[in-house]
Structure 1
Amino acid sequence: MAERENTGQHAPVARPRLEIEYCTRCRWLPRASWMAQELLTTFEADLGEVALVPGSGGVFEVRLDGEVIWSRTSDAAFTDAADLKKLVRDRVAPGRALGHSDRTG
């Protein structure tokens, strides 16, 4: 886990590692990169790092400190950024408003 900078006021607080594993044969690096950018932009103070993990076999999986929070099955569509942001928010910054990403229908 990455740690926050110690400003002398508080002890360092561990921040979670987010991983996006993507299938290289499916050419999903652009999608994984875009999703990483979206999550880093939204949670820049809440995440310690975001890692892109090359994989195979059609994998596209998002993990937070090793726990799978979203996984694309072979017959399922991809989730959108707003839904993934909600899943991350619920674990790293519960109760935080996400603006337009929180709006439904």
Structure 2
Amino acid sequence: MNEVMITYCKPCGYGKRAAEAVDALQRDLSVTTNLVAGKGGIFEVRVDGEVVAKRIKGHFPDTAEIVGSVRAAMK
């Protein structure tokens, strides 16, 4: 079983995006995802400890990108 974790910046207000990603991962892949509140602008999606999607300057992964990245990492 793969461990999926989303770390998001709580002060930045990324909680809603993280929750939407959790819902999509559950709906589309039947994956249980752990949410971890962080700070410093972080938004990272990890599968088994490896970053598969993250916020970088000028880009914020949308829900479809997150689901696709997790799907690919689980194969």
The question of a shared fold, defined as TM-score above 0.5 by the shorter chain, is answered with yes
Deviations 1:45-90 (A, max 9, x none): xx3x3100000000000000111111112x2221222222211111
Aligned length: 75
Larger radius of gyration: 1
Aligned to 2:16: 30
Amino acid in the other structure paired with 1:81:
T
For 1:50 and 1:83, locate their aligned partners in 2 and report how far apart those are by CA, in whole Å.
Answer: 16
TM superposition score normalised by structure 1: 0.66
Which contiguous aligned blocks of 4+ residues in structure 1 show a shift greater than 3 angstroms?
none
Unaligned 5+ segments in structure 2 are: none
* Identical positions, percent: 35
Greater share of helix residues, 1 or 2?
A: 2
Map 1:44-59 → 2, pairs under 5 A: 44=30, 47=31, 49-59=32-42
Query: Structure 1 regions of 5+ residues with no counterpart?
Result: 1-14, 95-105
TM-score calculated relative to the size of structure 2? 0.89
Contact 2:52 2:73 in 1 (8 A): no
